Amino acid sequence: MKVLHIWNTAGVASILAKYQAELLGWNTWVLMRLPYDPFCMTLYGELDTDTRNSFMVRALWILKSVLRSRCYDLIHVHALDKILPILRVLYPQKPIIMHYHGTDIRGKWSERKKYWRNANLILVSTLDLLTTLPREYLQYRRIVYLPNPVDTRLFKSSGQKIPGTALFVYSQKYGYLKWAEKIAKEMGLTLTVLNRDKSPIPHRKFPQFLSKFEYFIDQKGIPSLSKTALEALACGLKVIRWDGKVIEGLPEEHKPENVVMNLAKLIKEL
């Protein structure tokens, strides 16, 4: 099986492609652009380093991705749903997977229907995306929850954790800093706030940084664990999730071997 992953939201495509190649022996690849990968999460695949973001540069990259698709048996698109109608017209017989990861579809199912209706299978990375799915779309296409995978070879406990410490990753997009400060104060934790907008840490170095802390405070706005929270669990941190509950240990459903094997079953049914 030859699979092309287009785009690499949160590094998910790289993890899936890497483990599909290793566990299943598939010929896999990932196409991504550097301006949209500030944390260098494309550790497997091809990262276009042209930082220009003009209409022409974007159009040429999409054209390249469409042309490269002709050499693959299956096309797996992440977030970049605008490319689906083009792929469907040019490759009417190829199975296409559309994979949404959160804000790219949350509250936008009707708005994005003209794109996702071209896919044979639609995957969502968090359960809340299914619970907010308009009822009229439940049987329109196969829309399935596929848990976010965590690369457990990269994210694992290393070094000595400092007791009584907590990390909160802040971004202007999500906020909730006051909530994190409140939680840390109530639990008597020394809080470190990482502003990833201003001080991005390369993905490859992030596990070592994470492993210094005892706790990770996740975002509050969505009733689902963020991918960073899952990575913290894999590194042995205790995670304080959106409802204040403390959890430990990466759930089995997020281990890459399990995610890839479940996806393989879905692909076999296409």
Q: How far apart are CA 248 and CA 232, in angstroms?
A: 9
Q: Answer yes or no: do 142 and 262 share one domain.
A: yes
Rounded (10°) angle between helices 256-268 and 12-19: 80
Encode 60-120 in three state secondary structure: HHHHHHHHHHHHCCEEEEECCHHHHHHHHHHCCCCCEEEEECCCCCCCCCCCCHHHHCCCC
Mean of pLDDT over the chain: 94
Name which of 9-23, 128-142, 194-208 the model is least confident about: 128-142
Q: pLDDT of 111-126, one tens digit each?
A: 999 999 999 999 999 9
Identify the bridge partners of residue 195 per DSSP, sorted by sequence position: 170
Q: Would you place residue 140 in the very low, low, confident or very high pLDDT band (cuts 50, 70, 90)?
A: low
Name which of 28-42, 98-112, 165-179, 233-247 the model is least confident about: 165-179
| Average pLDDT of the segment spanning 9-27 | 98
Q: Answer yes or no: do 10 and 137 share one domain.
A: yes
> Angle 79-252-169 (CA atoms, 0-180°, nearest 5)?
55
Does residue 155 lie in a domain region? no
Owning domain of residue 18: 2-149+255-268
Q: How far apart are CA 225 and CA 192, in angstroms?
A: 19
Q: Answer yes or no: do 81 and 214 share one domain.
A: no
Q: Answer yes or no: do 8 and 125 share one domain.
A: yes
Judge whether residue 175 has pLDDT over 80. no
Q: pLDDT of 144-167, one tens digit each?
A: 999 999 999 999 988 789 999 999
* CATH classification of the domain holding 122: 3.40.50.2000
Structure-block tokens of residue 118: 């071209």
Give the pLDDT of residue 200.
87
| Average pLDDT of the segment spanning 202-227 | 94
Q: Answer yes or no: do 51 and 98 share one domain.
A: yes
Radius of gyration of the chain (CA): 19
Judge whether residue 91 has pLDDT over 70. yes
Which pTM was predicted? 0.95
Does residue 73 lie in a domain region? yes
> Angle 68-71-77 (CA atoms, 0-180°, nearest 5)?
60
Yes or no: say if 96 and 129 are a contact pair by the CB < 8 Å rule: no
End-to-end, the C-alpha distance of the chain in Å comes to 13
Q: Answer yes or no: do 122 and 245 share one domain.
A: no
Q: Answer yes or no: do 71 and 167 share one domain.
A: no
Structure-block tokens of residue 100: 């949404």
Judge whether residue 35 has pLDDT over 90. yes
